[in-house]
Amino acid sequence: MKQISFTDLLSQETKRDPVAFAARLREQGPLLPLTAPFSTGAWMTTTYEDAIAVLKDPRFAKDTLKFGLPEQEQASTNEREDTFKRLLAFRRDMLTVDPPDHTRLRGLVSKAFTPRMIEQLRPRIQQIADELLEAVQRLGRMDLIADFAFPLPITVISEMLGIPVENRLQFRAWSQTIIANSVGSQPQEALAALEAFVQYIKNFLAAKRAHPTDDLTSGLVEAEEGGDRLHENELISTIFLLIVAGHETTVNLIGNGMLALLLHPGQMELLRQDSSLLSSAIEELLRYAAPLTLSTPRWASEDIVMHGQVIRKGEMVFVSLVAADIDQHQFTDPQVLDITRRENQHLAFGKGIHYCLGAPLARLEGQIAISTLLQRLPNLRLACEPEQLIWNPSPILRGLTSLPVNF
């Protein structure tokens, strides 16, 4: 069995064709040891059944501090490992803690992300999509990432949080640096970006305390001031999570999804001609075009036996979402892009208590973005060869650095 490493997960070949890579993973077995750039042992699941089991099993915990990971002032002998642990130690939000803290934090934010509340954003999201295309339509070309897929979701989440939208390019730079270098070759850049991002959030929160408005951040600040429902570090981490998660995965949904359609022109034309397929198309693009390669890590809270192998207490477990979503035991012809697919319980948004809170918003943004592109740009086509496209260097996220198109 070939040992899988983080280098394999970061390679351009893996990013370019995750379906083929996932198929090779699944041929090697359902549970694979993963060579990671830190001393903690790591594993990766490759089947749909095991993905569900890990994502829903409370023995696979999210709270890193339960396993003795150091606080920020402590250091290890491995700079990349130290950076990874310091980034995790900073995070005290609903994605990185377990119940009862998870229940409390998720409850504070969830009211803003109900399907009813998200549906009210439809006119504004459509307006943003139209304005972005109007700005480039006369040019006949654009970078679909920089000119459309990124500004749309970052504008939406910025407005929800009450953050000045002119700072969106700085958010993108910080989040991309953190994502690319948290386990990469330049860990100090990730820490510097995180420190700058956190300082911005602290200043932003101070301004909201002085001048609250009708936005999600002001509501969270009021909850913090109301007692022990939200602590300062939880508030900072939650705002950080909402900014980063509120745009990164949706950028990838739009960018990866449109690339998949451009490479499958029959499917793109079918969707252009039949808008009733939009909902099923978005679900299929989430499954097939994989905005996330892996789940965020979990830690075994005790020794756990899976497939005859022992995952030791404190070891990390990642779920290969792309491998789970091409499992032939769960999906018919999983390696085929089929926007008419009806039975599609994909795992792009996870499962269990950490199921993506922003799923309704991401779906709506994806539907509006892709339908607007197809209807307003009937001659949309790639402006380069697919092999020339560059993918972001993240083991977890899968997204393009740019997507040049003509129309």
List pLDDT tens digits, range 7-62.
888 899 999 998 899 988 888 999 999 987 666 789 999 999 999 999 999 999 99
Predicted local distance difference test score (pLDDT) of residue 373: 98
**pLDDT average, residue stretch 208-230:** 84
Neighbours of 378 (CB within 10 A): 10
- Higher-pLDDT residue of 305 and 232 is 305
Predicted local distance difference test score (pLDDT) of residue 70: 45
- Give CA 21 to chain center in angstroms: 19
Give pLDDT tens digits for 143-160. 999 999 999 999 999 999
Q: pTM score, two decimals?
A: 0.92
How many residues comprise the chain?
A: 407
d(CA 94, CA 387): 38
- Amino acid letter, 335: Q
Of the given ranges (6-10, 80-84, 131-135, 140-144), which has the lowest mean pLDDT?
80-84
Predicted local distance difference test score (pLDDT) of residue 75: 47
Among the listed residues 246, 244, 230, the one whose alpha carbon sits nearest the alpha carbon of residue 357 = 246
* 4-406 fold: Cytochrome p450 (1.10.630)
Supply 185's token pair.
């070759």
**pLDDT average, residue stretch 249-254:** 97
256 half-sphere exposure, CB direction, 13 A CA radius:
30
d(CA 306, CA 298): 15
d(CA 186, CA 269): 43
Give pLDDT tens digits for 166-193. 888 898 899 988 887 766 667 788 889 9
270 half-sphere exposure, CB direction, 13 A CA radius:
14
- Give CA 279 to chain center in angstroms: 20
Predicted local distance difference test score (pLDDT) of residue 378: 95
Assess whether pLDDT exceeds 60 at residue 1: no
Assess whether pLDDT exceeds 80 at residue 114: yes
Q: Please report, to the nearest 10 degrees, the dihedral formed by the alpha carbons of residues 290, 103, 304, 297 taken in order.
A: 40
Residue boundaries of the structural domains of the chain: 4-406
**Ramachandran bin of 300, using left for φ above 0, alpha for ψ from -120 to 50, beta for the remaining angles:** beta
Among the listed residues 137, 404, 364, 121, the one whose alpha carbon sits nearest the alpha carbon of residue 262 = 404
What is the H or E stretch that residue 48 is in? helix 48-56
Supply 26's token pair.
């699944």
- Quick check: 146 and 397 in contact, CB under 8 A? no
| Three-state DSSP state, 281 | helix
Predicted local distance difference test score (pLDDT) of residue 168: 83
Residues in CB range of 214: below 8 A, 6 or more apart: none
Predicted local distance difference test score (pLDDT) of residue 91: 85
Residues in CB range of 67: below 8 A, 6 or more apart: 61, 299, 313, 314
State the burial class of residue 401 (Cβ atoms within 10 Å of its Cβ: 0-12, 13-18, 19+). Answer: middle
| Three-state DSSP state, 60 | strand
Backbone φ and ψ of 10, nearest 5°: -90, -10
User: Cis omega (within 30 of 0) on the bond before 30?
Assistant: no
Predicted local distance difference test score (pLDDT) of residue 2: 65
d(CA 66, CA 68): 6
- Amino acid letter, 295: S
High-pLDDT (> 70) share of the chain, %: 91
- Quick check: 240 and 205 in contact, CB under 8 A? no
